[in-house]
Amino acid sequence: MVIARSKIVKADVPGCYHVTSRCVRQEFLLDYEGQISAKRLFISSLKKQSQLMAVEVLAYAVMSNHVHLVVRIRPDVAQTWSAAEVVDRWVELVPPRLEDHVTPVELDEGRRLCLAADASWVVERRARLCSLSWFMRLIKHRFAIWANKEQGKTGHFWDARFYSSALVDQAAILACMVYVELNPVRARMVKEPSQSIDTSFSQRLNGENSAWVLSLDQCGVYEYELVQAREGPFLDEGYDVESMGESGLDSEIQWRYVSPVITDGEYCALVQRTAQGVNGRLQQEFAHDPLLDRMQLRSEQWLATMRSGKQMLGTVVGRSSTRLHEAAVRGMRWLRNTSSVFN
């Protein structure tokens, strides 16, 4: 069932999301190697766009026929930008063009001042600069134009819209980052995650991501709570959610940032150990993995998730207690789990 993006993405508060998008007919269009590699160009575009927008990249994997991203929208950061900075960022991101819609034009200082003075224009562009939908719209559109021109083709490059899942707690964020960075291992393209140059993990090991892919100490979670919520049933894991009606909660949301519980070194070691488990090794060692114990994740479910495709999907991903809380924030009864690691 198709769910409206507004039901998944909370545009006015910071939040992490797992995003996927496939090539049309699932063809291996991203394997193209011309004057420039299609995968490398996508990564370069991802870097530039994340630096201009209030959208942070936590992890990525560019495969032959699809891409995975773990991103965090930061409307709170966009609100700190002055009107002039909004103009500068938007003009660099979407350069104005002549009537032929091809030839870019340079905006003089007078025109920039006029745009900055237009309050409605600034409000709209500020919202777009921290929008997940606009982030994906721009990067997919530009890449499709380049690919068609480079290969002398016409028509669609991407298959329909992109898919997104909200990552609603720290365990979901870290598990999804590992899941995304292990895509080439799971697809049997490489044996070790460090061997793939088209994921954030190999570059994370080489220290190439410091300017734009977040380090682990920045990959925390924003926790939310309702303020002045209407009284209702207490939500816990034992509550019969099927007996609940629509909560209809219409309250302000307050949030706070919670730092992650692991370091970069521990994270990289976990990815490498998990890769060996995905390849069929280290089963017994994972039965008593101290890092997973600290994250309160079970080893057998962890490996089952990392070995399988179509995980980390659905409206939200996270523990059952967090999903119940998230459901209350969204005015829903329940949010179903689709990832075995959180069963």
Q: What is the pLDDT of residues 27-63, one digit of tens each?
A: 999 999 988 899 999 999 999 999 999 999 999 999 9
Residue 129 lies in a domain: no
260, part of any domain:
yes
Task: Tell me which residues of the chain have a pLDDT lower than 70.
Answer: 1-2, 101, 208-211, 225-253, 281-288
DSSP single-letter state for residue 29: G
User: Is residue 204 in a domain?
Assistant: yes
Share of the chain above pLDDT 90, in %: 48
- The answer to whether residue 244 sits within a structural domain is yes
Quote the pLDDT of residue 193.
92
Find, among 130, 148, 129, the residue nearest to 140 by Cα. Answer: 148
Range of the structural domain that residue 259 is part of: 168-338
**Beta-strand (E) ranges in 23-145?**
55-62, 66-73
31 domain residue, yes or no: no
Report how many domains make up the chain: 1
- 101 torsion bin: left (phi>0), alpha (psi -120 to 50), beta (else): left
Q: What is the pLDDT of residue 198?
A: 93
Residue keyed to tokens 């298959």: 159
What's the pLDDT score for residue 249? 37
Q: Is residue 87 part of a domain?
A: no
Q: Is residue 278 part of a domain?
A: yes
